[in-house]
Chains A and B, each alone.
Chain A
Amino acid sequence: MSEATVLQMIDHEAKDVPLEDIDVSQRELWVQDRKWDYFARLRDEAPVHFCKDSEFGPYWSVTRFADIMEVEANWQSFSSDPAITIVDPEEDFPLPMFIAMDPPKHDEQRMTVQGSVAPKNLKVMESTIRGRVQTVLDSLPVGESFNWVDKVSIELTTQMLATLFDFPFEDRSKLTRWSDVATGGPETGIVESEEQRQEELLECLAYFTNLWEERAKQGLSNDLISMLAHGEATQNMSPQEYLGNLILLIVGGNDTTRNSMTGGVLALNQNPGEYAKLRNNPTVIPSMVSEIIRWQTPLAHMRRKATKDYVLGGKTIKAGDKVVMWYISGNRDERAIDKPNEFIIDRDRARQHLSFGFGIHRCMGNRLAEMQIKILWEEIQKRFHMVEVVGEPVLVPSNFVHGFTDLQVVLHSH
C-alpha cells in the first residue's frame, strides 16, 4: 500500500473508521495517546481482528483478556520465534534471545539466569535497593520542577540493572542508552539510522564481551554475566546470541519498571481520591503496585507466530500469521476486570493483570519489579506530601514500550 493511500487513524474518531481498516499499530496513536478508543472498539466489535496491511505488514490483533490468555498458554500453536514485538527482525542483524525462542532451548537458557531474580535473592537485595531509593529521593530538589523520568525512574532502574550485571557503576548510563537504542529505530529519533543503531549495539556487545571474559576466568558468582558465562546452556552462545540475550535482560529490567515508576505518579495525580487513600493508608502500597503495573502496562504487546491454523474467537488464524496480543487492551477489558478504566489502588484481585504475560514466557523479574516500586512508594510517602505533576507527559513514540520520556513534577514536603 502506498504512503498516500494509508488511512491515518489519528485523523479520525475510532467509531468512524471502517473496522477492516483499523490499524492500532500506527505510531501517532501512541504518541498522542489516542489508542484507547480504537482498542475499546476492537474489543467490542472484532476482538480477534485482522489488519491486512501496516508499517509492520499484516497482523492479527488479540484484544480481549481471555483470548490473550488462550494464546499465551499455547506455545505449541503460537511460537515466539523469531521475534516478540510487532517489528520483524533485521535479516542481516538477527538478535536471538530466549524470550524469542520456544522450548526446549528457551527453557534451558532461561533457567540459567532466572535464579538471579528469584525471591530468595530479592530478600538479600532489599536493603541495597532501599538505601539507593533513599539516596536518590533525598537528593531531589523540593519546590522546583524537574523531570521525574530522568532523575528518579531511569536512575533507579539503571542502578538496579548495573547491580544485576555487576556492571561498572560509573558507566551505568551506557545501559540506559543501549536499552533505548535496542527498542527504538530511526523513526523514533533515538538514533539517526539503522546503521547507527547496529553500530551502538555492537559497542554494547564489545563492552560486555570484556566483562564475559573477565567473569569466565573467575568462579561462578551471582551476577547475570557470570551465570551466562558459566551456564551449560549459554556458555557457547554466538556473539549475536549473547547480544540478543543481553538486550533482553537490559530492556526487561529497565524500560519496564522505569515506566511504571513514572506512570504511578501520573495516575495518582489524575486520581486525587486515590492519592488521598494512599496518604491515609500506606498499607495499601503492595496492592497499589499491582494496580500501577496494570494501569501502565509498560509493554503494550507481545507478538507470536501461528504454527498451525487455529480458530480463535471464531476467526481462523492461518499458520505463519503474525499475532499481536495487546496486553494494554486486555488490561482494560471489562469482561475480565471490574471497572477497568478506573485506577483503584485497593482493588480486589489486583494481581490478575496481563502486564507480566502468562505461560512459559511470563516475566522473569516480576517480583523484583514489584519490590522496587513498593520500596519507592514507601520512601516517597515518608518524605513528601505530594509529587505534583506540573507539565504534560511526553510519551515514548512506540507501540511496544508504553512509557514516558518526560514528566515534569514538583515535590511538596509534609
Chain B
Amino acid sequence: MPKVTFIEHNGTEHSVDAEVGKSLMQIALDNLVPGIDADCGGECSCATCHIMVKADWLDKVGSPSDAEDSMLDLNPERETSSRLACQIEVTEIHDGLTVDLPEFQF
C-alpha cells in the first residue's frame, strides 16, 4: 500500500497508509490528520481540504480541473502548488507523496 505524508503548518508530519482509489482528503480524515475540514464531504464545493503539493510531486499529481480551479481561486492564500485533497485520487504511483497543510483552511 502506498504511503503518503501530510505536513502540518507547525511541521508535524503524518505518514499514513493510503488505500488506492481513495481521495487524499478521505485518507486524511480516515487517519485523523488535523487541518482538513472537508465541509462539503468531497464534492469540490467548499475548498476546505486545501493542501500544497511538494514541488517534485506536481507532475505525478497533475493539474486541477476547471471546477477545482474555480474553488481554489476563492482562497486569497492560494499558491501555485495548491490543490484540493478531495480531487486527488491515490494510485500506486503516489507512494511517497508529500503535501503541506496550510495554516488555516479558508
Contacts and interface: CB of A to CB of B under 8 A. Distances in A.
Interface in B75-106: 75-77, 103-106
A114 interface: yes
Contacts, number: 57
A217 B34 CA distance: 44
A304 interface: no
Contact of A111 (B45, B67, B73): B73
Interface in A71-86: 72-73
B104 A358 contact: no
A118 B76 contact: yes
A119 B77 CA distance: 9
A362 B39 CA distance: 11
A103 B44 CA distance: 17
A69 B40 CA distance: 9
Contacts of B51: none
14 contacts: A69-B40, A72-B45, A73-B45, A103-B70, A111-B73, A118-B75, A119-B77, A119-B105, A120-B104, A349-B41, A351-B38, A351-B39, A352-B39, A358-B45
A352 B41 contact: yes
B40 A352 contact: yes
B104 A367 contact: yes
Interface of B: 37-41, 43-48, 67, 70-71, 73-77, 103-106
Contacts of B44: 73
In order of increasing CB-CB distance, the 7 nearest A-B pairs are: A119-B104, A358-B45, A115-B76, A118-B76, A351-B39, A359-B45, A73-B45
The SS class assigned to the A binding surface is: helix
Interface string A351-395: 110001011101010010000000000000000000000000000
A73 B103 contact: no
A305 interface: no
A110 interface: yes
B76 A114 contact: yes
B105 to A, nearest CB: 7
A406 interface: no
Contacts of A114: 74, 76
A107 interface: yes
Contact of A118 (B37, B48, B106): B106
B70 A118 contact: no
Contacts of A349: 41
A225 to B, nearest CB: 18
Contact of B47 (A69, A73, A362): A362
Contacts of A362: 45-47, 74
Contacts of A107: 70, 73
B43 A358 contact: yes
